[in-house]
């Protein structure tokens, strides 16, 4: 079991500890449970969907990387598939605040990068800020997404975001987490093609500037991240943060990164290159390449 879970694991009930122990018994536990695993956890612990998500929050919060605030926020997203995905806030000392990933964004993008196509509920240990409420409004689950908070009655995103403004007001057809492909092409090796694939599934309806990144680890594992734009612009999540998020949730350290490739258009309205290089440099990675796509 990864050392970050030790303290929070000890807070769980004996039944849940027993059920979780074999699943967590790997340094690179993927910070998610399949629908079948979630069903088994509920069976062995006697918890329902929401109660299980609440019980798992301390483990999700333990995944946070908070070198600036030292304030861990955890989130658990439940997909329509029944899969559960952890999320934790991420901060990057040495670069700007704008690179921060909120816990809700972490759980949502985690689910998206794992192939989930829609969310049913999001459980968080602290009330979502306005930034996160707006980010969630970009999702294809829309204002009906269930938000669960400790000590409160379950409510919808619509309850937390009245008089909402989002992609539907701008007649956007493809919403965040909808499967899509931009039909982009480029030559390159396997890591470059992984970055291209990430760019092809990115959500960029406002700038039409799709981008994606692929990060290779020392053991050969590759993590990808896709660009996720927002109707309010500021809650937009860059592709690098999507990739670093899953990398970190999966128990890898930044020092394990050997190489990264960013794929984006040469004439895009918005460019990710400078921010990507600066953020990767802040975590100790300077081997970054750029793949021009068309």
Tell me the catalytic residues. 104
Q: How many CB atoms lie within 10 A of CB 10?
A: 9
Structure tokens at 61: 């919060």
Q: Report the C-alpha gap between 182 and 43 in whole angstroms.
A: 42
What length does the chain have? 294
CA distance linking residue 68 with residue 98, whole number of Å: 13
SS3 247: helix
Residue 114 contacts residue 83 (beta carbons within 8 Å): yes
> Collapsing DSSP states into helix, strand and coil, what is residue 97?
helix
d(CA 18, CA 293): 49
> Do 8 and 56 touch, CB atoms closer than 8 A?
no
DSSP 35: H
């Amino acid at each position: 079991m990864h050392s970050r879970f030790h303290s929070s694991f000890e807070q769980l009930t004996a039944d849940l500890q027993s059920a979780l122990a074999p699943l967590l018994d790997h340094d690179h536990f993927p910070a998610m449970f399949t629908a079948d695993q979630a069903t088994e956890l509920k069976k062995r612990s006697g918890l329902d969907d929401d109660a299980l998500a609440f019980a798992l929050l301390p483990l999700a919060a333990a995944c946070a990387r908070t070198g600036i605030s030292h304030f861990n926020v955890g989130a658990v997203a439940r997909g329509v598939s029944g899969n559960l995905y952890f999320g934790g806030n991420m901060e990057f000392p040495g670069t700007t605040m704008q690179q921060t990933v909120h816990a809700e964004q972490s759980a949502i993008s985690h689910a998206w990068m794992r192939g989930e196509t829609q969310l049913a509920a999001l459980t968080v240990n602290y009330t979502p800020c306005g930034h996160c409420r707006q980010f969630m409004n970009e999702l294809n689950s829309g204002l009906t997404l269930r938000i669960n908070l400790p000590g409160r009655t379950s409510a919808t995103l619509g309850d937390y975001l009245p008089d909402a403004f989002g992609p539907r007001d701008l007649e956007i057809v493809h919403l965040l987490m909808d499967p899509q492909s931009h039909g982009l092409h480029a030559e390159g090796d396997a890591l470059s093609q992984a970055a291209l694939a990430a760019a092809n599934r990115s959500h960029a309806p406002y700038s039409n500037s799709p981008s994606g990144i692929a990060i290779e680890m020392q053991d050969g594992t590759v993590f990808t991240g896709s660009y996720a734009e927002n109707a309010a612009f500021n809650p937009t999540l860059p592709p690098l943060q999507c990739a670093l998020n899953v990398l970190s949730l999966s128990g890898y350290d930044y020092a394990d990164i050997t190489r990264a490739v960013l794929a984006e258009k040469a004439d895009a309205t918005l460019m990710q290159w400078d921010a990507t290089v600066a953020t990767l440099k802040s975590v100790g990675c300077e081997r970054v390449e750029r793949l021009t796509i068309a």
